[in-house]
């Protein structure tokens, strides 16, 4: 497969591009869906692959699946998945709006397997996207290269592979085998002996870091587990029903049209609703465990607050972390065997997008209201759409499940505008 020609290439078979695939099958002419390929680097679809722990739950209602808010009667709904797998009664009896992550992961693979026209190519990791130019330097499409040396030539590209993991500079020189980011936790933690005595240090103070802490505390009962965070302590998510209205897909227009200072205020005030907080159940679990350990006089779950890790090195077969107290400025050292990073993701555009922007000579990377990369001089030509990385222009919900159904419809509408006769667009509006 040295070269492949398609109409639309979607990179990443995560929720964003699966929602797009469903929208294409339900809204677009067959010839577009038939000539769409999703390239997925892994051999299966798994949601939050690195943190697919059996007890973890989504923070989002099951009704905010890939399609229900756009088409409640769709056969691709989460409810139909439960019905098809014979588990609808059990889920209803559970009395919860928030499924376990493994259920959502199973739902996504079921959707991928149920697609009738859009094809998913597994085991293909994209490395670069290059503009394809025709006569007079006119943009005619895109060439996407893959690690196996193959290429896909397409008229349009949708990038939905998520952001790159954030590894703080202080840890960049540490041996890779001692540092585990949350995106690879499930795979790599299984290589360690659960009966051995390890010293785990978790960096971060939000939900993913707390889940890392709890997972190693429970999975390695002979080990010491310490969380180091900059904040004054672990905090609840902001989950008011009033503030949650900014996660409505209808709020995207309000955010997009707001002036810069208003956008900044909205993002700042909504930060704790999605970042730097914990679900109430996890908070309660950690606090009770810490209380019981202190009661027993044997504290194995430790929290170090208002502290930065300002340096890190390997010495004498262990990690030596320099801790700086933000209150006093005093430093101390903490020894560890493994460093677990709940540090989230790089706030910049993904490396794949940055590379494309450089090839296009773009001074800044931004999208229009329909998630289309703004390329000066080519407003209606071959397009690149960005999914899940547009919080600055589309609001804090952009990286979440909440807006997938509506966003996929908007991207499909934009794809069709210069492809089909005007009468067909009425079905997509």
What per-residue confidence (pLDDT) applies to 429?
A: 33
Under 8 Å between Cβ of 326 and 310: no
Do 372 and 412 contact (CB within 8 A), yes or no? no
- pLDDT score of 424: 39
pLDDT computed for residue 42 by the predictor? 97
- pLDDT, tens only, 142-173: 999 999 999 999 999 999 999 999 999 999 99
At residue 132, the pLDDT reads 94
pLDDT tens profile 280-312: 999 999 999 999 999 999 999 999 999 999 999
Inter-helix orientation angle 280-296/207-219, to 10°: 40
Residue 426 is predicted with a pLDDT of: 36
CB 156 within 8 A of CB 383: yes
SS3 236: strand
Report pTM.
Answer: 0.93
pLDDT of 409 strictly over 50: yes
CATH class of 3-164+346-425: alpha beta
CA 364 to chain centre: 22
Average pLDDT over residues 201-216: 97
Distance CA 158, CA 161 (A): 9
Of the pLDDT bands very low, low, confident and very high (cuts 50, 70, 90), residue 423 is very low
Query: What number of other Cβ atoms are within 10 A of residue 341's Cβ?
Result: 24
Q: What integer pLDDT is reported at residue 327 of this predicted model?
A: 96
Average pLDDT of span 216-238: 95
Q: Are 161 and 15 in contact (CB under 8 A)?
A: no
CATH 3.50.50.60 domain span(s) along the chain: 3-164+346-425, 169-237+277-341
Copy the structure tokens of residue 395. 């609001």
**Structure confidence at residue 275 as a pLDDT band (50, 70, 90):** confident
Rounded Cα distance between 374 and 381, Å, is 11
* Sheet strands (E) in 266-389: 301-304, 307-315, 318-325, 331-336, 338-341, 384-386
In the numeric block, the tokens 């390329």 are attached to 375
CB atoms within 10 A of CB 136: 5
Give per-residue pLDDT as tens, 243-270: 889 899 999 999 999 999 999 999 998 8
Pairing outcome for strands 139-146 and 318-325: unpaired
Q: Residue 318 has which token pair?
A: 């262990």
Q: Could you report the per-residue pLDDT of 336-370, keeping only the tens digit for each?
A: 999 999 999 999 999 999 999 999 999 999 999 99
Residues 6+ apart with CB under 8 A from 129: 142, 143, 144, 145, 157, 159, 352, 355, 356, 359, 384
Which residues contact residue 37 at a Cβ distance below 8 angstroms, ignoring those fewer than 6 apart? 4, 6, 8, 9, 10, 118, 119, 120, 121, 152
Q: To the nearest whole number, what is the mean pLDDT of the chain?
A: 94
- The topology under which CATH files domain 169-237+277-341 is FAD/NAD(P)-binding domain (3.50.50)
Instruction: Kindly tell me if the per-residue pLDDT of 418 is higher than 80.
Output: no
136 confidence band (pLDDT: 50, 70, 90)? confident
Task: Look at residue 427 in the predicted model and tell me its pLDDT.
Answer: 39
Calpha distance 230→211 (Å, rounded): 17
Closest CA to 129 of 152, 104, 111: 152
For 310-327, how does the pLDDT look when each residue is reduced to its tens digit (9 = 90+)? Answer: 999 999 999 999 999 999
- Between the CA atoms of 99, 104, 107 and 112, what dihedral angle is there, to the nearest 10 degrees? 160
Query: Residue 361: how many CB atoms within 10 A of its CB?
Result: 9
The predicted pLDDT at position 425 comes to 38
User: How does pLDDT run across 83-98, given as a tens digit for each residue?
Assistant: 999 999 999 999 999 9
- Cβ atoms within 10 Å of 254's Cβ, excluding its own: 13
């Amino acid at each position: 497969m040295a070269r492949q020609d398609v109409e639309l290439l979607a990179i990443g078979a995560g929720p964003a591009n699966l929602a797009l695939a469903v929208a294409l099958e339900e809204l677009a002419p067959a010839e577009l869906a038939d000539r769409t390929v999703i390239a997925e680097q892994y051999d299966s679809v798994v949601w939050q692959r690195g943190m697919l722990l059996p007890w973890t739950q989504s923070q989002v209602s099951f009704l905010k699946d890939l399609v229900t808010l756009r088409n409640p009667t769709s056969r691709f709904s989460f409810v139909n998945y439960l019905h098809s797998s014979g588990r609808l009664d059990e889920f209803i009896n559970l009395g919860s709006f928030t499924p376990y992550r493994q259920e959502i992961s199973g739902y996504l693979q079921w959707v991928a397997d149920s697609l009738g026209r859009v094809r998913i190519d597994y085991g293909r990791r994209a490395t670069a996207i290059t503009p394809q130019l025709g006569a007079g330097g006119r943009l005619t499409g895109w060439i996407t290269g893959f690690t196996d040396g193959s290429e896909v030539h397409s008229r349009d590209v949708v990038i939905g592979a998520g952001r790159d993991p954030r590894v703080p500079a202080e840890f960049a020189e540490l041996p890779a085998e001692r540092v585990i980011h949350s995106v690879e936790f499930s795979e790599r933690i299984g290589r360690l002996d659960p009966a051995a005595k390890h010293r785990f240090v978790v960096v971060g103070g939000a939900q993913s870091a707390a889940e890392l802490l709890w997972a190693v505390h429970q999975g390695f009962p002979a080990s010491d587990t310490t969380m180091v965070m900059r904040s004054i302590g672990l905090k609840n998510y902001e989950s008011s029903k009033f503030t949650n209205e900014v996660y409505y897909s209808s709020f995207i227009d309000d955010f997009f049209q707001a002036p810069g200072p208003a956008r900044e205020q909205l993002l700042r005030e909504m930060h704790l609703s999605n970042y730097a907080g914990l679900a109430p159940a996890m908070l309660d679990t950690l606090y009770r465990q810490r209380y019981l350990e202190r009661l027993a006089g044997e504290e194995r779950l430790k929290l170090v607050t208002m502290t930065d890790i300002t340096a890190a090195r390997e010495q004498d077969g262990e990690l030596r972390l320099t801790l700086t107290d933000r209150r006093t400025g005093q430093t101390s050292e903490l020894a560890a065997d493994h460093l677990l990073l709940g540090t989230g993701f790089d706030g910049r555009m993904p490396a794949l997008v940055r590379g494309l922007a450089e090839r296009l000579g773009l001074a800044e990377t931004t999208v229009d209201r329909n998630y289309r990369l703004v390329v000066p001089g080519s407003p209606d030509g071959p397009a690149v759409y960005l999914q899940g990385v547009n919080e600055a222009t589309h609001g804090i919900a952009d990286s979440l499940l909440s807006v997938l159904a509506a966003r996929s419809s908007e991207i499909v509408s934009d794809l069709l505008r210069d492809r089909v006769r005007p009468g067909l667009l009425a079905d997509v509006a």
